[in-house]
Amino acid sequence: MKTVRVWFKKVGTARYISHLDLNRCMSRAIHKAKIPLWYTQGFNPHAFLTFALPLSLGISGERESMDVKIDDGDISREELIERLNLALPDDIPVFDVTEPVMKPGLIAYASFLITLDTEDADANEIAAQIKELLGYDQIVVPKHTKSGFIDLDIKPYLDKTKVTPKNSGVEISTVLPAGSTMNINPALLSDAIKKYLNLDLYADVRRINIFDSNFRIFE
């Protein structure tokens, strides 16, 4: 028995799949691919399958991971990738299988790329407005918590944020707290742009990578 870390993307229409549905999709794909899973012992045996950092609905993921325990230590990395890709939809491709290096509990940050569709507006002008917003002393938006909504100042978390005008719109690259201690959804930045600048723009959000507290890439 050994634990492997399966690396995959969650793109296209798959970004609208909830984490619960993704879990079901992966479980069925593993069964269909005839991957020899290890099951817990006891009255209610179940497969060991855990995701490092689930994505919020509507956000794409370029480097997602799932840990599974398998019984067959001889099955190769290439065979695991091939079998899983044959069983999974095109919008959830597996691109690597490795041994786990870091524990998911060490995750502290995530990098995102937000693309704003400016339609017929001037991308340079909108980018300039967003840059001005980032210079405000406070940027307060409502954040949903387990106990309800709170007013959160996201300004302290935007120090690694860059705004770039493009032909097709405006790109915002940012690194935000992520994990069990603190989690800032990039949608809060879109909410701030709508609230302070009165700009209700379509935002395509991709999570590019995840890091530990020392900004080492999660492996």
DSSP-assigned letter for residue 216:
P
Mean pLDDT of 28-34: 92
Residue 29, pLDDT > 90, answer: yes
Q: Examine the pLDDT at 45 and tell me if it is beyond 80.
A: no
pTM (predicted TM-score): 0.92
Q: What is the pLDDT at residue 147?
A: 84
DSSP 114-143: EEEE-TTS-HHHHHHHHHHHHTSS--EEEE
H or E element that contains 4: strand 2-10
pLDDT average, residue stretch 24-46: 82
The percent of residues above 70 in pLDDT, for the chain, comes to 95
Q: Could you report the per-residue pLDDT of 175-191, keeping only the tens digit for each?
A: 999 988 889 999 999 99
Higher pLDDT, 72 or 86: 86
Residue 94 has what pLDDT?
A: 98
* Mean confidence (pLDDT) of the chain: 93
Q: Which pLDDT score is estimated for 196?
A: 97
Q: How confident is the model at residue 49 (pLDDT cuts 50, 70, 90)?
A: confident
Q: What pLDDT, on a 0 to 100 scale, did the predictor assign at position 93?
A: 98
Q: Which helix (H) or strand (E) holds 28?
A: helix 19-32
pLDDT of the residue at 73 = 65
Higher pLDDT pick, 36 / 59: 59
pLDDT for 183? 92
Render pLDDT for 74-84 as a digit per residue (tens, 0 to 9).
Answer: 788 999 999 99
* pLDDT at position 2: 87
DSSP codes of every residue in 40-104: --SSS--B-EEESSPPPTT-EEEEEEEEEEES-TT--HHHHHHHHHHHS-TTS-EEEEE---S-G
Over range 157-181, report the average pLDDT: 94
Q: Check pLDDT > 80 for residue 166.
A: yes
Over residues 107-154, the pLDDT tens digits come to: 999 999 999 998 878 999 999 999 999 999 999 999 988 888 999 999
- pLDDT at residue 42, as a whole number: 65
Residues 6+ apart with CB under 8 A from 136: 155, 196
